Every structure is written in C-alpha cells, then in structure tokens.
C-alpha cells in the first residue's frame, strides 16, 4: 500500500560558521531524542574575509507533522547547542516567515 501526505510548508535553516565535522557530531547527540535534520557545507564571503560553515535544515515533515512554532523552537535549541559545542559566537535562523540573528559579540 502506498502512503501519501501533504502539509503546510514550513522550513527553518540554521546558518553558522565553524567546523562541519564537529557540528555533525554535536547534531548526532542532539537528534538522539527523535529528530531528523539535514546539514550541508557553506562558504561565507563577506567584506574583508571569508570562512567555512554549514547550514542545518529542519522541515515540517508530513509523516510527523508539527507547528511552525515547534519547529522554530527546536531550531533555536539546536542552534544554541551547536553554538556552545563548536565554540561559535553567532548564528542566524532563517524560517519561512522570519529571520533571527543571535550573537554574544559586542555589537558595533
């Protein structure tokens, strides 16, 4: 028997600099509670420099539907977990309806 399902689209992507292999290890620890995410390498190029990083993706998966608020909350928890585990100072979370930036750096 075939199964089909669809649900309202909602995505959350975490953008962070840092070592992707360290991030993968931290994510493995985080998702043990029952979660599936994607991770892919990125290069950040900005005025005066560049650095390697990654993007972590979460979606509203039809087999296990959730709410935008719940997906956003999980993305925030995972981003904070990653930030502390791989010693970063900032990250962005881009959702279908909002973009957040968090930093422990002095703002200038």
- Which CATH number goes with the domain that contains 26? 3.30.70.120
CA 19 – CA 55 distance, rounded (Å): 11
Task: Check whether 108 has a pLDDT greater than 60.
Answer: no
Residue 4 lies in a domain: no
Number of domains in the chain: 1
In this predicted structure, what is the pLDDT of residue 84? 97
Residue 108 lies in a domain: no
Question: What is the rounded average pLDDT of the residues 37-55?
Answer: 97
CA 57 – CA 68 distance, rounded (Å): 14
Report the predicted TM-score, pTM, of the whole model to 2 decimal places. 0.93
| Enclosing domain of residue 23 | 11-101
H or E element: which one contains 74?
helix 68-85
Handedness of CA 23, 27, 30, 32 (dihedral sign): negative
pLDDT tens track for 65-75: 999 999 999 99
């Amino acid at each position: 028997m075939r199964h089909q399902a669809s649900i309202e689209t909602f995505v959350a992507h975490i953008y962070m600099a840092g070592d992707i292999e360290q991030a993968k290890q931290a994510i493995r620890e985080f998702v043990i509670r029952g979660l599936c995410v994607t991770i892919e390498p990125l290069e950040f190029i900005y005025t005066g420099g560049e650095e390697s990083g990654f993007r972590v993706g979460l979606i509203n998966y039809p087999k296990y539907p959730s709410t935008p608020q719940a997906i956003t909350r999980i993305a925030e928890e995972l981003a904070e977990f990653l930030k502390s585990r791989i010693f970063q100072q900032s990250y962005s979370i881009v959702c279908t309806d909002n973009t957040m930036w968090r930093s422990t750096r002095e703002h200038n």
